[in-house]
Structure 1
Amino acid sequence: MKMDYLAQTNQNLIIIDEIVNDETPITAPNNVHIGIDLGTADIQTVVIDDQGVPIAAFLDWADVVRDGVVVDYAGACRIVRSQLQKVQNKLGIEPKEAITSYPPGTDPRISINVVESAGVVVSHVIDEPCSVAALLHIDNGAVVDVGGGTTGTAVIENGKLVLSLDEPSGGRHVSLTIAGGLGVDMAEAELCKRRSHEDPVIAAMARPVIEKMSDIVATHIVDHQPEAIYLTGGGTLIKGFADIFRQTFPKIEIVELSRALYLTPLAIASYGLTLQGEE
């Protein structure tokens, strides 16, 4: 059953990759679920239908959040408002409600305030790794969410969340290392990081930061025995990321997904289906 959820999620992530930032109008289904993810490196909005299939997705690279805190409130609000307008234009419906998320240990009201500034009601808010755990129906495992600024870990045992922690180490710290090593600015370092699969030098520079992230997760789960660790977040796309985690956790299955950059916003939107099923 676990593989069924993984396979379906991988398929939906591929769909998002195909439709992201496509504004071509379509006929909207009767019910939609909107998830908004305020990340350190990007802001994403994903819309799914009642079957969980993505029908719209928008992504803007943005430097408006640092370590789970909005540092450019006006900029974050502007991007969310713009993405919701694109949703309205594409689907022909006015968004009324949305679900959003927050890094573990931060104040969820920060995300809520940004999203509601765009004129929609936040129906629910969930911490980022827990949204992924719900999407994948994890009974015993850990979700590691590596965003731009933080590494979050959620541990699930017997289907229940028992631990959710966050530490300030993420993709931005990799970029800082690259910027220092190459003598370039952060914008260029970000582009280099995204090319890590093409450049072994970049991958080698990122390795110590990834090892630190794996050490953080090891500390998080020291009193637990997850069957598997599920990797999510754009930070996990750096070349060699999963291999380093496999070296750190040789007895734990390390699970990668096809387009991890979109996994959290998909999970946030899909949380609406979980809530619907509970009604």
Structure 2
Amino acid sequence: MKNGELLEQSNKQLAHFEKLVNKDHVLTDEQKKSLKTQKLKVGVDLGTSSIVLTVLDKNSHIIYGDFEYDHAVQDGIVVNYMDSVNILRRLKKKAEENIGVELTTAAGAIPPKTGEKSSKVVANVIEEAGFTCTNVVDEPTAAATFLKIKNGTVVDIGGGTTGITIFKNKKIQTVIDEPTGGFHMTLVLGGRYKIKNEEAEKLKRNKDREEEVYTVIRPVVEKMATIVEKLGSQVEDPVIVVGGATNFTEFTTTFSKVLGRKVYKPLYPQFVTPLGIALCDHAK
């Protein structure tokens, strides 16, 4: 498949999910009846700025999505256990009410190389919220699963970390994780405008001021790209960036300039990893 066509199928799914997520999407009685006989797939993405719940049917078709903003995770690590559990319980209950089916299992994810302890905490949050946790994968691998990557470099930029996974013939060749992400953009904005982090976060998401904001946070993006660039010949094409922190028009332009190669970004890149996590439910 040509690189220009690589994301076409994924973009259709992402556009569909964007129409469903956080819209209190209620299924018809016929749809609910059909789902009662299926083994659904559920993904839980415990992010630095939000917790996302995704639900797929047995054929991996998207049927539901929801999220809540939070600050229960920092640099990829759960720092407020009960907040995470309570948010996830609410998301689970709301999903079950809307789709009419009990959600019994779920998969989770962690930044690369954050260790067994981090994986265990994520699994415990999922279990405490009422699921059986079937799997905990690293975030770039989840993203690659959704994007159906055989060869390439996935750069998953979250709130607190930048995770990079390089794939060749569907096998992981290199995995690294660096402590820089969307929150560091927020810190730079806060310092530049002398405002609190909460205000800086809102400013970062203000599309009307994107050009102004991006001028300030561009050095952070360049630093992220430099992390990839230092991997040299290990980097496999295509390079694909995902994660909410990539939601700037000029993001891939900056990355491409540093790397000296084409960089791709899916539509709604913040939803790539959550959907990939759901695909990993039941899989080991």
TM-score, normalisation: structure 1: 0.92
Equivalent pair of 1:197/1:239 in contact (CA under 8 Å): no
2:51 to 43, 47, 51: 43
The CA distance in 2 between the partners of 1:214 and 1:23, in whole Å, is 37
1:180 maps to what in 2?
191
The equivalent residue for 1:263 is: 272
Q: Measure the CA separation in 2 of the matches of 1:173 and 1:23.
A: 32
Structure-to-structure mapping, 1:53-92, within 5 angstroms = 53-92=61-100
Query: Do the aligned partners of 1:193 and 1:238 also contact (CA within 8 Å) in 2?
Result: no
Given that 1:21 and 1:59 are in contact with CA atoms closer than 8 Å, whether structure 2 keeps it comes out as yes
Is the 8 Å Cα contact of residues 24 and 90 (structure 1) preserved in structure 2? yes
Shift of 1:195: 2.0
> 1:90 Cα deviation (Å)?
0.9
Q: Displacement, 1:50?
A: 2.7
For 2:94 and 2:216, the matched residues in 1 are separated by 38
* TM superposition shift of 1:196: 5.0
Partner Cα distance (1:239, 1:225) in 2:
23
Distance between the aligned counterparts of 2:236 and 2:208, measured in 1? 29
Q: 2:153–2:235: 8 Å Cα contact kept in structure 1?
A: no
Structure 1: gaps spanning 5 or more residues: none
* Rounded Cα–Cα distance in structure 2 between residues aligned with 1:210 and 1:199: 14
User: Contact (CA 8 Å) 1:81, 1:118: kept in 2 or not?
Assistant: yes
- Equivalent of residue 142 in structure 1, options 137, 144, 153: 153
- 1:227 shift after superposition: 1.4
Partners of 1:260 and 1:197 in 2: CA distance: 20
Report the AA paired with residue 259 of structure 1: Y
Displacement of 1:76 after TM fit? Answer: 0.6
Residues 65-214 of structure 1: pairs in structure 2 closer than 5 A: 65-106=73-114, 107-195=118-206, 198-214=209-225
Deviations 1:141-200 (A, max 9, x none): 100000000000000012201111111100000000001111111111111111256442
Pair 1:250-2:260 in alignment: yes
SS in 2 for 1:105: coil
Structure 2 CA distance for aligned equivalents of residues 31 and 18 of structure 1: 24
Aligned to 1:226: 236
Amino acid at match of 1:19: L
Q: Distance in 1 between matches of 2:129 and 2:44?
A: 11
Equivalent position amino acid for 2:15 in 1? I
How much does 1:52 deviate? 2.5
Query: What is the letter of the counterpart of residue 46 of structure 1?
Result: T
Cα distance change of structure 1 residues 269 and 149 upon mapping to structure 2, 3 Å threshold: same
Contact 2:45 2:277 (C-alpha < 8 Å) held by counterparts: yes
CA RMSD of aligned residues (A): 1.8
Q: Which runs of 5+ in 2 are unaligned?
A: none
8 Å CA contact 2:45, 2:108 repeated in 1: yes
Shift of 1:54: 1.4
Task: Please give the alpha-carbon distance, in whole angstroms, between the structure 1 residues aligned to 2:98 and 2:23.
Answer: 8
Return closer, same or farther for 1:241/1:112 CA change in 2, 3 Å cut-off: same
Aligned residues between the structures: 273
Cα offsets for 1:206-230 (capped at 9, x unmatched): 10111111111223x3341411111
Moved more, 203-212 or 233-242: 233-242
Query: What does residue 238 of structure 1 align with?
Result: 248
- 8 Å Cα contact 1:134-1:267 kept in structure 2: yes
State the one-letter code of the partner of 1:157: K
CA contact (8 A) 1:99 1:268 kept: yes
Partner secondary structure for residue 40 of structure 1: coil
State the partner residue of 2:10: 9
* Cα distance between partner residues in 2 of 1:82 and 1:180: 35
